[in-house]
Amino acid sequence: MYNPTRLHFGRDVIKGLGKAVSEFGNRVLLVYGGGSILKNGIYDQVINQLNAVGMTVWEHGGIRPNPVIEDVDAAAALGRRHNVDVIVAVGGGSVIDSGKAISITIPYQGSGWDFYAGRYKPSTAVPLIAVLTLAATGTEMNPFAVVQNRATMQKLGGRNDLMYPRHSFLDPAYTFSVSREYTAYGIADLMAHCLEAYFDDGDASLSDRFVFSILQEAVVYGPPLLDRLHDYELRARIMYAATAALNRTMTMNGRKNAGDWGVHAIGHVLSLLYDLPHGATLSIAFPAWMKLQAERIPDRIAFLGKNIFGVSTPEETIVELEMFFKSLGCPIRLVQVGISADKKEEILEGMVHNQVSGNYHKLTVADYERILEFAL
Ligand code: NZQ
Ligand code: ZN
């Protein structure tokens, strides 16, 4: 097991940011998104911390949800030009993933996409510090970063141990301003991470129980949170659940591939084609994928249903999962996000082009068609 990220969790943990940044030097590249941190005051708190320890700061704002490689390359060029010592990424998964990609691109002369395309194997990275503002992806404590390339029409995840943040600051109050919608997508995403681990190969009873525990946190505390977006305790429970769901430790030990990830591959194609929020693609794709798998792995699906929803068949499990996502306000069919049957060919093409499959549950083109039938 390996996880080098130092996680600072709780109210006002930001007060430790200045000290953490000072460990690495005094030239900072600050990366953030479309402006939420300017509205909710987080930007000011971060800048105060950096100023208090005498940092010189260069900024790259405007990282978009479902981030693109052009932004990564532009921010890396800025960081390279000013020889920065450390990157501070303040935002959700899109910003922190971009920060990770920037951290391995600065020491490299080409595009960061070369890493995703397998043409560049980083041997060094600029240290990254994350300040998380949205509970969902687990990126704050893992070595993954997902980026889009619209020129090649790909959305790919990369993994490198150099991309673990050195420090991550998680103040649940920083997520108060996340909309109801995005809070729900975050819950769907953390649940999907548990399920990707669960559906991998490998008889790992304790890892299964960790999966069930994290899923239960989501099922119990997710719905009340949506009615009380400023409830610190509920925000904290969901934030910790999201970190635990994908930090490459508890849910993945004893699995052969560190997760199946077939459903994420489907979700990435939907985000790429229609710019859908990541969590919304998963609340549609997971039930559809499970319907395909119901006859192949009925016992595995039923075991999940028994432990999470107290039901006994694969069919009931899938219905319960769909009803739960629906209760959160997440879409469970493509038509709910404005995608009708006439888009089927386009999605199929995207799936073929991106070679959508799982690490364990391999998917064929015939499988794609059935999944899409279920999803439409
Ligand atoms: O850009 P700003 O203005 O910050 O607004 C964002 C964005 O519009 C907003 N937001 C974030 N924090 C907020 C806030 N709004 C109000 N108050 C706050 N405190 O929320 C919107 C969505 O942000 P984004 O970062 O895109 O969301 P999320 O955290 O769900 O990240 C999604 C990205 O992460 C990737 C996804 O594919 C997607 O690209 N993933 C990364 C993973 C990883 N690194 O391990 C695993 C995941 O499976 C996932 O693939
Ligand atoms: Zn995800």
CB burial readout 276-285, b (16+ within 10 A) else e: bbbbbbbbbb
Q: What is the mean pLDDT of residues 289-293?
A: 98
d(CA 32, CA 212): 33
State the CB neighbour count (10 A cutoff) for residue 86: 24
Q: Are residues 118 and 30 in the same domain?
A: yes
pLDDT tens digits for range 142-182: 999 999 999 999 999 999 999 999 999 999 999 999 999 99
Last residue of a domain, one of 122, 157, 174: 174
Q: How far is the CA of 5 from the centre of ligand 2 (A)?
A: 19
| 17 and 164 inside one domain | yes
Range of the domain at 89: 6-174
Ligand 1 atom closest to 92 (CA): 25
Q: What integer is the mean pLDDT of 58-72? A: 97
| Residue 340, φ and ψ in degrees, nearest 5 | -105, 180
Q: What is the CATH number of the domain that holds 186?
A: 1.20.1090.10
Distance 54 CA to ligand 1 centre (A): 29
Instruction: Ligand 1 pocket test: pick from 42, 90, 180, 182 the residue with the most ligand atoms within 8 Å of its Cβ.
Output: 182
Q: Is the pLDDT of residue 55 over 90?
A: yes
Q: Quote the pTM value.
A: 0.98
How far does the centroid of ligand 1 lie from the alpha carbon of residue 72, in Å? 15
Please tell me the total count of domains within the chain.
2
Residue 27 resides in a domain: yes
Mean pLDDT value of segment 249-256: 94
Share of the chain above pLDDT 70, in %: 100
Tell which of 131, 156, 174 closes a domain.
Answer: 174
* Ligand approaching nearest to the C-alpha of 182: 1
The CA distances from residue 86 to 249, 299, 346, in Å, are: 26, 48, 41
Q: Are residues 197 and 113 located together in one domain of the fold?
A: no
Output the CA angle 93-97-100, nearest 5 degrees.
150
34 and 91 share a domain?
yes
Tell me: do 320 and 339 sit in the same domain.
Answer: yes
Q: How confident is the model at residue 94 (pLDDT cuts 50, 70, 90)?
A: very high
Residue 146 placed within a domain:
yes
* Nearest residue (CA) to ligand 1, atom 48: 137
Under a CB-based contact definition with an 8 Å cutoff, are residues 252 and 259 in contact?
Answer: yes
How far CA 278 is from CA of 169, 258, 309, in Å, comes to 22, 20, 24
Determine the pLDDT at residue 171.
98
**Same structural domain, 209 and 105:** no
| Calpha distance 109→39 (Å, rounded) | 35
Does residue 1 form part of some domain? no
Q: Which residues line ligand 1 (CB under 6 A)?
A: 33-37, 40, 65-67, 91-95, 97, 133-134, 136-139, 142, 144-146, 174-175, 177-178, 182, 186, 189, 246, 264, 278-279
Whole-angstrom Cα distance, residue 373 to residue 285? 11
- Domain edge (last residue) among 140, 174, 208: 174
Model confidence over 211-232: pLDDT tens digits? Answer: 999 999 999 999 999 999 999 9
Instruction: Give yes or no: residues 163 and 254 share one domain.
Output: no
Q: Which atom of ligand 1 is nearest to the CA of 175?
A: 19
26 alpha carbon – ligand 2 mean position (Å): 33
- How confident is the prediction for the chain on average, in pLDDT? 97
Tell whether 238 is covered by a domain.
Answer: yes
Residues 242, 307: Cα–Cα separation, whole Å: 19
Query: Are 232 and 362 part of one and the same domain?
Result: yes
> In this structure, is residue 207 part of a structural domain?
yes
In a domain, 107, yes or no: yes
Instruction: Report the pLDDT value the prediction gives residue 308, as an integer from 0 to 100.
Output: 98
State whether 196 and 247 are in the same domain: yes
Q: Determine, yes or no, domain membership for 185.
A: yes
Ligand 1 geometric centre to CA of 345 (Å): 28
The CATH number covering residue 113 comes to 3.40.50.1970
* Dist. CA 83 → ligand 2 center (Å): 32
- State percent of the chain over pLDDT 90: 99
Q: Identify the residue whose C-alpha is closest to ligand 1 atom 42.
A: 137
The pLDDT score that the predictor gives to residue 249 is: 87
Looking at the fold, whether 123 and 146 belong to one and the same domain comes out as yes
Residue nearest to atom 46 of ligand 1 (CA): 137
pLDDT at position 260 is: 98
Across residues 251-262, what is the average pLDDT?
A: 96
| Across 188-211, average pLDDT | 98
The verdict on 280 and 336 lying in the same domain is yes
- Residue length of the chain: 376
Q: How far is the CA of 185 from the centre of ligand 1 (A)?
A: 10
- Read off the tokens for 241: 């659940």
Are residues 201 and 78 located together in one domain of the fold?
Answer: no
Residue 151 lies in a domain: yes
